[in-house]
Amino acid sequence: MEWAAWPASTVNSAYVRRTNRPDAVEQLAGWTARASVAGGEPIRESSLINAKGSGYVAAILPSGMRAVATEISAETGAGGFILPNDRVDVILSRRDREAERLTGIETQVAETLLSDVRVLAIDQHIEDKSGRAMVGRTATLELSPRQVETLAMGRLMGTLSLSLRSLADADPSKRSTTPQDLGAPRQLNIVRFGVTTTTIPK
């Protein structure tokens, strides 16, 4: 980073300026940029992260959230069109053993396990503004601790798929905050010695 003259008529108050941060070159040295910065481009402090020795993903995670990777493929990852910063639903597909026991017919069911979660990375690609399809083996999701537990349980039960959400649904004020939408399991079935007990997690 270095200081450069800039037309006063186009200076934005969000830019790092010598008048309000005279020691910025020294103070911001070693910080990480959230996105690519072109040579000669004015710097905004909000576009930088002070990782303090941590990795980039740890630095961008909101307080209380976790980064968890899950396996995907072209078939389970919307054909590669899910990119970092997109929002997705996590769908669980599994065999319904109870229905099979009662009917004698192989039964497959699907349900939305998690709703409206942010994709942090595909494989090790944190951000991709090109819009190209990105077929990877893993997707890293931003989840609450309860959602992490739900995802881990879903992996054991069947196959997980990601469903890409429309940008039209991206308004945070329209997102539900019910326990179900936050990924809290509605019920947990515990099987011991062939006897099933249903409990509601607290």
Instruction: Output the pTM of the full model.
Output: 0.60
- At 148, which helix (H) or strand (E)? helix 145-157
pLDDT at 185: 47
pLDDT at 89: 93
- Cβ-contact 84, 121 below 8 angstroms: yes
**CB neighbours of residue 77 within 10 Å:** 26
**Whole-Å CA distances, 191 to 57, 99, 105, 159, 197:** 38, 16, 22, 21, 6
The residue to which tokens 């595909």 are assigned? 122
**Whole-Å CA distances, 6 to 33, 41, 162, 197:** 21, 10, 45, 69
pLDDT at 101: 80
- Give me the residues of the chain with pLDDT under 70, please: 34-35, 51-56, 77-80, 124-134, 170-202
3-state secondary structure of 156: helix
pLDDT at 6: 87
The residue to which tokens 């936050």 are assigned? 182
pLDDT at 132: 64
pLDDT at 180: 46
Domain boundaries, the chain: 1-60, 61-199
